[in-house]
Structure 1
Amino acid sequence: MFNIPAITWTLTAVLLLSGSYHLVQATKPHQLTDRVNNTLHALMNILMAAMLWNLAPSTMLAQIAILTSAALWFIIQAVARPEFKVLCAGSQGRLKCLYHSLSMAGAALMITMMTSHITTGPEHAIPLPNTHHAVPRPTTTTASATLDNLPNLATPLTIIFATAALVFIALLLRNRKPVTTATSKTAPKHSPRKQHSLEALGAAIMALMFATMA
């Protein structure tokens, strides 16, 4: 995706570290939904890191399906009835789940855009084995037209995630004191600063990756 190795390696390291953090959180004795959510975030970060190197192209459809399902899962949490307190509760929790749904959907769309870039060219041709000529694909099909229009979404998504990064940075600067609970049966809650730092970093990476596709 990036022509500068230093940027690619830096983003890969950040994504893998973020994914590792979420994976560790998923192993802690939180609620089941917290473990599932952290596992999905870890998986998204790992898939995005693999995306930077165009790894496992044969599994791209599976990756898209997993991320799309994850986006749907966060939407379900966001619109759940208030009595289901293990899901997203309160206006802030629902907004957070909606944003996470957008992130999952954005990652799925990013993989789709990369898939269309790999499998289609300016002439929509697919080379066949043991041949020296490409077989032209129909350029008027609905699927082809949809793939061609996907790059047009890169710019607005860049703006959306860049704005999200600025919002999380503002929240990070506002909430400077970690919030903990001093009970013997429950573990300390995560610091808002740590959460906002991860969200800001993730949004900035999403914005940067979409900017390269614009």
Structure 2
Amino acid sequence: MFNIPAITWTLTAVLLLSGSYHVLQATRPQQVTDRINNALHALMNILMAAMLWNLAPSTMLAQIAVLSGAALWFVIQAVARPEFKVLCADNRGRLKCVYHSVSMGGAAVMIAMMGQVSGGHAPAHAMSMRNAHHSLTVTAPTTAAATIDHSPGLVVLLTATFGAAAAVFIILGVRRGLGKSYRRRASRLSLRPGHGLEALGAATMAMMFAAMS
């Protein structure tokens, strides 16, 4: 899959588009928690786009640490007590935070599988994308700890998870408002761009994990 430049560029464009959207949302006047959440989403998309081009492999451990911390942050929001209104207070918000936690964790897992783990040396059976040819390269075994071949079940599980998430967001995005009032219908319709972007993001993650299986 990754040896096709058009697919690489398409995935990069989707990730940067999503990242730009979250950067814009993070700059708008709103609660501090929302700003942090959007900033974390923007960062995740940028890191995923950089991973496609094998950029900054020496910072892989830092990237994994940041994404893991972001996953934990969303878990904390999901399990927070209802009185903390700035966090995920209602059921819909909690489900959203759980999904975003899975997204952050999935991105960390992908970077661990695709990246380098020891001083710039290539990991065992790792896939690295080169700018010149956009080709998929298999390197010789080293002492790297994280490899794709060691966790095929996890790759399949994450592929299915993000594929299902993309389908759910598509359904939510195309569903028409059922309320009688115009205000309620407009409110539902206003959610469609967000659902569409979430669907694109989930589909991108599913495609990238599917390429590893």
TM-score normalised to structure 2 length: 0.82
Q: Where does residue 179 of structure 1 map in the other structure? A: 187
Q: Specify every segment of 5 or more residues in structure 2 that has no aligned partner in the other structure, as ranges.
A: 126-138, 178-184
Q: Where does residue 46 of structure 1 map in the other structure? A: 46
3-state DSSP class of the match of 2:86? Answer: coil
Cα displacement (A) at 1:207: 0.2
Which of 118, 141, 146 is matched with 1:124 structurally?
141
Change over 3 Å in CA distance of 1:213–1:116 after alignment to 2: farther
Change over 3 Å in CA distance of 1:178–1:210 after alignment to 2: farther
Residues 20-76 of structure 1 show CA distances to partners (whole Å, capped at 9, x for unaligned) of 110011011110000000000000000000011010000010000000000000000
Q: Counterpart amino acid of 2:124?
A: T
Compare the two structures and name the one with the higher helix fraction: 1
3-state DSSP class of the match of 2:211? Answer: helix
Q: Specify every segment of 5 or more residues in structure 1 that has no aligned partner in the other structure, as ranges.
A: 126-136, 138-142, 181-189
3-state DSSP class of the match of 2:60? Answer: helix
Q: Where does residue 210 of structure 1 map in the other structure? A: 209
Q: Where does residue 36 of structure 1 map in the other structure? A: 36
Q: Where does residue 135 of structure 2 map in the other structure? A: none
Q: Where does residue 196 of structure 2 map in the other structure? A: 197
Aligned length: 189
Query: Percent identity among equivalent residues?
Result: 67
Q: Where does residue 20 of structure 1 map in the other structure? A: 20
Distance in 1 separating the partners of 2:82 and 2:38: 22
Distance in 2 separating the partners of 1:160 and 1:147: 18
Higher relative contact order (CA 8 A, sep 6+): 2
Distance in 2 separating the partners of 1:42 and 1:170: 24
Distance in 2 separating the partners of 1:152 and 1:116: 21
3-state DSSP class of the match of 1:213? Answer: coil
TM-score normalised to structure 1 length: 0.82
Q: Is the 8 A contact 1:113 1:150 kept in 2?
A: no
The alignment's C-alpha RMSD in Å is 2.2
Distance in 2 separating the partners of 1:194 and 1:69: 27
3-state DSSP class of the match of 1:149? Answer: coil
Q: Counterpart amino acid of 1:104?
A: M
**Equivalent residue runs for 1:144-163 within 5 Å:** 144=145, 148-163=149-164
Change over 3 Å in CA distance of 1:46–1:166 after alignment to 2: same
Q: Counterpart amino acid of 2:35?
A: R
Distance in 2 separating the partners of 1:196 and 1:69: 25
Q: Which moved more, 1:59-68 or 1:148-157?
A: 148-157
Q: Is the 8 A contact 1:25 1:35 kept in 2?
A: yes
Q: Where does residue 184 of structure 1 map in the other structure? A: none
Q: Is the 8 A contact 2:58 2:116 kept in 1?
A: no
Distance in 1 separating the partners of 2:56 and 2:116: 15
Q: Where does residue 128 of structure 1 map in the other structure? A: none
